[in-house]
Structures are given as structure tokens and as C-alpha cells.
Structure 1
Amino acid sequence: MSNLEVKSVVSKNAKLRMTVILLVVVGLYIYTSWATKSTPMDIIKGWGGFQRILTDLFPPNWSYVPAVWEKLVETIQMALIATTFAAIVSVPIFLLSASNLFPNSWIYQPVRFIMNVLRTIPDILLAIIFVGIFGVGVFPGIMALFIFSLGLLAKLMYETIEAIDMNPLDAIRASGGNTIQVIWYAVIPQVLPQFVSFSLYVFEVNVRASTVLGFVGAGGIGLLLQQQINWFNYPRVMTIIIIIFIAVVVIDLISNKIRERIV
């Protein structure tokens, strides 16, 4: 068989494989739509309800802004405290989780396992648990965000460390440097920009997450939003939504500018 014929057979096999994969994917979507009784027609059917909600939400109640601002500041403070402490505590954890720093599986595997367990617990479930322990307020929200941020930062950073250039590490080890010296002179200079960038990203995530945590009594602007929804005070609800949107956009812009300068 000539090379041209071999290429033709390979091309046909590749096309057949792609066609089968595409049919399987389309079939899965069709089955999922049937199983969940969800179709694009539901969007059209729900348009009337969407218009009714918009009518209830507008115009916003701008006189409610001072009360919302106070809770927004509280939400940002929750996210800032949780992110700061999580960033500090995560440093020894992600260092111990990196297999290229501590090749012994008895060291990095248990640490990774604990962090994986923490990441599997939804932040809102953590908030419910801490509200049950400490009562309604800001502290349960901070604790929930702290645990959530710790697991996320640890995973992002140990994966970053395992992808760094190993030549500086090997050079320091070859010259007699210990593990602390390897970390300080070879690892930290390579991963510090990513660490700051990931910490800023986690802070952004925590600001959004803290809004939801308020629905279970974990403080912040979410608690205020839940109250107004329960009271069917939709103009105030719209005011809160607009302020949250503006705050998140501003935080994203500032964070992106900082990350651009660091990375």
C-alpha cells in the first residue's frame, strides 16, 4: 500500500471517529434535554414572567443606597479577611503538596487529600455549618470563605510549583543548599507573581461568594438581599443588585490592572 493510500485510510478513520464522537455528544444532549424536561422553548414560554419581574424591579429605590453601602463594605471586609488569612496559611500547605519539593508520597499525598476533601465541601454548606456553630453573623461567613479559599489556593499553587523550572533548584541542591534555601532562593522568586495573582483572583471570587452566603445567615450584603426578597420589596432588591454589579465590576478592573503589572 502506497503512502497516499495509507494517508487516505487514516483520514477516513479520523473523519469516522469524529463523526461518531459528534453523534454521541448530540445524543447525550438530546437525552439530557428529555430526562430533565428542559428545552429552548422554555425560554420563550418564560418570557412573560421575565417581563413581569422587570416591571416589579424597576425603578430602583435609590434612597436605600446608604443602607446597602454599609452591608457592601461588610461583604468586602469579609472577603478581604478570609483571603488574607487563607493566603498566609496556604503557604506551608502548598509547599508540602508539591511533589517536586517533597518527593516522598507520605508527605504530599496526605496533604493533597485533606485539601481535596475541603474543596469538595460547597462554600454555602460550610456557611450553614458555621452558622450552626457560631450563630448568625459575619464570623461564620469569614470562616466559610477561609476554608474555601484555602483549598483553592493550595491546589492552584502546588500545580504552579510543579511546573516551574527545576534547574535553579537542582543547582542549589548540588551546592549543598537545604530545603529551606531551595524554597527561598529558587521556588519563591518563580511563583511569587502567580501567588499574588491567584490571591487577587480568590478575593474576587470571595466577594461574589459572600453575597450568596448571606442567604444562610452568614452576614454581608446577601443577608440584606434575602430580607428584601422575602418582603417582596423588589425596588430595593434591584438597588442591591445594581450596587453589587458595580462593586464586582470595579473590583475586577482593579484586580486585573494589578495582575497585569505583576505577572
Structure 2
Amino acid sequence: METAAPVHAPALLHRLAEERVTGAFTRAGGTLFLVDGEIVHAESAAATGLELLLTRDCALSPARWDAALTRAERDGGVARQLMAGGQVPEGVLDLCRRTALYDAAFFVLASGGGPGRFRHGVRDRLGAHGGVPPMVVERETARRLALLDRIWPDARLDVLPPVPTARAAPAAPQDVGVPLSAVPDRRLPVLRLADGVRTATDIARALARPAFHILVELRRLAAAGLVTPAGPAAAGTPHTAGTAAAAATPFPTGARPSEAPGAVFDAPDVELLRRLRDALEAL
């Protein structure tokens, strides 16, 4: 029995997978690199790059990463250089590579950036082996979009700099503000960097964390009434579920948002949102 293909990604990507081609598939949100029809690497200006993930918790220094890049131009991919020199354990490299792949692919596939174009034979600088079928990456992207919408159905924080609300002010009265001690440790650094200037991408890179994880934390901070977007979203902003382009992009069955993201909301029922947040974190 033939399985129906998800309709979220462009048909071209499905055809490339079926034909087991090698090359680079590019949309507004970034590029997916395919080898034999499977995605081996992804890059996006909105995502956190592999080098930041590797240099965050690994012994790899930025200087060694740069050296691997230089050698890779002569002697093969970066992954081969890092493992050959024993600078990064294979398991660590694979974990960081797949984290970076899914992080960047989210912005490519969720961009609503048109059908895309393909360049045959183009290889990524990483030179990694062991890809992921596009259908798997596509399903994960749809799951992430649905998760964001469940947390807080307003996608403006995905592209606009977050601004702390009066409730997040450290000096606010107890009945108005939320003490910083009540904010989970993993969310507190994000809140501290929400200054109305940095975007989610900027915060992710400052913390060397995957950009999608920061989107999740910002949506949860918004649900708690602690941050709000700096201004109105620009029409047609890539990858934002609330834009006209993304709203027209069909979701796989079961992943369609229950409410239209991007709408301007009245003042939220904070107590209800707190209960929803607690329920989600308990899952």
C-alpha cells in the first residue's frame, strides 16, 4: 500500500528524494544538501551553525574549527578533518550535526518561500555521510510548527526582537511582576537577552543553542506574559507561520494550527496561560 506523501514541502524535494540525486536544494529560508536523495546537511541564516554547537560544550576551539575548514578545501570535508585529527569524537560530531541539520531544515521547510531550486552535484563543506530521508525531516518540521502554535499562537516572536513586559521587570511589585526566581533556569538567559534589539536568531547564537529551542522558550515566555514582540510583523516574512505566505502552505494531516497565528491578541488571561504552561511542561 502506497503511503501518501506529506504536502508541506515542495513537490520538487519529493521528486529529488525519489530519484536519489545529489546536490543543493535552496529556498528563501536556506539550503538542504542531498546525497543520494537524503539530506546530509542543512544551512540557514536563521539557524545556529554547527560550529557554534561544537564549540559550546566540546573541547573544539574556534581556531581548530577554522583550521579544519582550511584543510577541508584540500583534503575533503570538515567532518573528515575533525575526526581524523581526533579533535571531536564521532558520536559528538554526529549528534551536533543532526541537531544543526534539523534546526536549519526547520527554517527551510517552514519558510513558505516558494518551490525552490536545485543545483545538481553541489556538495556541502561538511562532507558528512549518513543522511536523513526528506520525509522524516518534513514530518519533524510539521511537529515543531504545531508545538510552537500550541504554546503560543503568535509567530511574530519568531522574527521580531522580543521585549520584556512590565511583568518581567525585576523591580515590579509582587502582584504585578514575576520574580526572576520563578522563571525556569533554561529560560532565564533568554529573558535576560530579550532587549528589543536581539532577534531569536541573535539570542540563539549568543547562547550557542539551536534556534528552534529559543523559539520555544520565547513562546513560553510570551505565554507567561513576560515578553512581547517589538513591533508589527512585516508582510511576507520568511518561515513565520503568521504571514500570508506561510498561512497558505498546507500542513500535514493532524498538524494544522487550531488558531491563526500572527493575530493581534487582547490582554491574555495570565492565570489560564500559567496553567496551560504548567500542563505542557509536565508532559
TM-score of the aligned structures, taking structure 2 as reference length: 0.25
Structure with greater proportional helix content: 1
Structure with greater proportional strand content: 2
Please say which structure displays the higher CA radius of gyration.
1
Larger RCO of the pair (alpha carbons < 8 Å, separation 6+):
1
TM-score of the aligned structures, taking structure 1 as reference length: 0.26
